[in-house]
Chains A and B, each alone.
Chain A
Amino acid sequence: MKNMHAAPNRFDLAIVTILCVIAVVLLLSIPAQSLDVNLVYKGF
């Protein structure tokens, strides 16, 4: 437990970075309209 209170090392940050990259890639791959919470249909 003591170790978990220490500052994250490079390995820890690498895991976080990889997950963030995956999330961003997925986010960028979907249509922008899917992220519009106020989306109103304006034809087609």
Chain B
Amino acid sequence: MDPPFTSRWQAYGFALTLAFFLLLPAGLSRSGLVRRQDVYQRIPEKFGAFSYIGHQIFDDSSDIDILFLGSSVLWLGIDTPYVQYELSRQLGRPANVITFGSNWRGEELNYILLSEVLQRRKVRMLVITMPLSHQSTNLPHPQSFRWLPHGDNQAALLGLPLRLRLALYGEQVLGAPRHLVGIIRSDIQEKTDFNRMLVSLRGAYRVEAGYLGAPFVMQKTKPPELSARSMIYSPETQRFFNFTQQPLSPYQMHFLRLTTELTRNSGVPVAILNIPLSRQRRNAAVEERMHWSEVFGLEMPIIGVPPATLFRGMTDLEINRCFSDEHMNLNGSDLLTRTVTPAILTVYEEHARRSQ
């Protein structure tokens, strides 16, 4: 077998090239040339509403009344303009309600987006979703190489086990050449129709797609008449909530702890919103993994409606029309949002009253 290198030049050339790419994340970080706002604008839209999120974090300084923050389940499940309309009516002034949504769940992503927006804007209430039962990954978000260059938010990574810090550095090595190219030539995306849609829908993603590839059929369903209180977890309503007790992974726990500490230190009230999946359509109770307030020692009302109640009286075909897959489509988003908004506004009002 031929030797891999015939000269020391070749061996050192290969070693230097490898070392360059391995150290590039740290080098870019020290150079300060990677602008955080540009990082978001470079991420393709198929991975999330990052161009919209970047503008909201860096280019807008107005107060946010309610920030919905979560993965695709929330991104597709909430009709943000409707919540804003109802909150404006309740407050007697124009309210500001926006959604930060992206594909794949990542506790580190949610934490970083929240910490960046709170550094620049006042948020009066945060509404989040929590990891679902099957979301127990102990690895970074699969797109973190796009939005987490080395040096940004490094403090949040302290305390993670070595294996996870290696994984994050691996992601940063993967993403560094892309960030380097972004410095050399501008590659900020032009405003697309998708971006304009996100702006008009306050960050929400309203999907007009039928269930598992079926044609989309618009369906208007009258929301069930429920009192706001019946959708908020309490000793009186606990029979409508089921905690599966599935533990969080160390990675999830690390960043959820940081998120709850951040909201506590910033004085931002938090509500947890449960959004049903297609597979849960007949569940008689709202399914959450844990009683989150007890886990994190922070009051976080859980808002949810049992799927069997939300879809009461509907056939399987009619329920199918509310989903595109496990995610809600426009029909489902309309039905859910119009059902749970009174509960969201009740929690908002209680927090507002307490902070006066």
- Contact partner of A31 (CB less than 8 A), chosen from B7, B21, B139, is B139
- Contact partner of B326 (CB less than 8 A), chosen from A5, A9, A44, is A44
Decide if B171 touches A44 in the complex (CB within 8 Å).
Answer: no
Chain B residues with Cβ under 8 A from A6's Cβ? 7-8
Decide if A27 touches B170 in the complex (CB within 8 Å).
Answer: yes
Nearest A-chain residue to B137, judged by Cβ: A31
Nearest A-chain residue to B14, judged by Cβ: A16
**Mask of B163-181 contacts with A, CB within 8 angstroms, 1/0:** 1001101110110000000
Within 8 A of B (CB), among A1-44: 3-9, 12-13, 15-16, 19-20, 22-23, 25-27, 29-31, 33-35, 39-41, 43-44
Give the complex CA separation of A6 and B12 in angstroms. Answer: 12
Decide if B7 touches A43 in the complex (CB within 8 Å).
Answer: no
B283 at the interface (CB under 8 A from A): no
Given that A41-B46, A44-B105 are contacting pairs, would A13 and B11 also be in contact in the complex, using a CB cutoff of 8 Å? Answer: yes
Chain A residues with Cβ under 8 A from B21's Cβ? 23
Given that A19-B19, A20-B18, A33-B142 are contacting pairs, would A5 and B47 also be in contact in the complex, using a CB cutoff of 8 Å? Answer: no
**Mask of B24-43 contacts with A, CB within 8 angstroms, 1/0:** 00000000000000000000
Decide if A44 touches B134 in the complex (CB within 8 Å).
Answer: yes
Chain B residues with Cβ under 8 A from A33's Cβ? 104, 142
Within 8 A of A (CB), among B204-239: none
- Contact partner of A41 (CB less than 8 A), chosen from B103, B144, B326, is B103
Decide if A12 touches B12 in the complex (CB within 8 Å).
Answer: yes
Decide if B171 touches A16 in the complex (CB within 8 Å).
Answer: no
Chain B residues with Cβ under 8 A from A15's Cβ? 11-12, 15
Give the complex CA separation of A29 and B132 in angstroms. Answer: 24
Chain B residues with Cβ under 8 A from A3's Cβ? 8
Give the complex CA separation of A17 and B174 in angstroms. Answer: 20
Binding site for A on B (CB under 8 A): 3-12, 14-15, 18-19, 21-22, 46-47, 71-73, 103-105, 132, 134-135, 137, 139-140, 142-145, 163, 166-167, 169-171, 173-174, 325-327
Nearest B-chain residue to A12, judged by Cβ: B11
Nearest A-chain residue to B134, judged by Cβ: A44
Please give the distance in Å from B108's CB to the nearest CB on chain A: 12
Decide if B18 touches A7 in the complex (CB within 8 Å).
Answer: no
Give the complex CA separation of A27 and B4 in angstroms. Answer: 21
Decide if B22 touches A30 in the complex (CB within 8 Å).
Answer: no
Chain B residues with Cβ under 8 A from A41's Cβ? 46-47, 72, 103-104
Decide if A7 touches B3 in the complex (CB within 8 Å).
Answer: yes
Chain B residues with Cβ under 8 A from A25's Cβ? 166, 170
Nearest B-chain residue to A36, judged by Cβ: B142
Given that A4-B9, A44-B104 are contacting pairs, would A31 and B22 also be in contact in the complex, using a CB cutoff of 8 Å? Answer: no
Give the complex CA separation of A2 and B132 in angstroms. Answer: 63
Chain A residues with Cβ under 8 A from B19's Cβ? 19
Decide if A29 touches B166 in the complex (CB within 8 Å).
Answer: yes
Decide if A19 touches B15 in the complex (CB within 8 Å).
Answer: yes
- With A9-B8, A34-B174 known, 14 other A-B pairs at CB within 8 A are A5-B9, A8-B7, A8-B10, A19-B22, A20-B18, A23-B21, A30-B140, A30-B171, A31-B140, A34-B142, A34-B171, A40-B46, A44-B73, A44-B135
Given that A26-B169, A34-B143, A39-B142 are contacting pairs, would A16 and B11 also be in contact in the complex, using a CB cutoff of 8 Å? Answer: yes
Give the complex CA separation of A40 and B170 in angstroms. Answer: 21
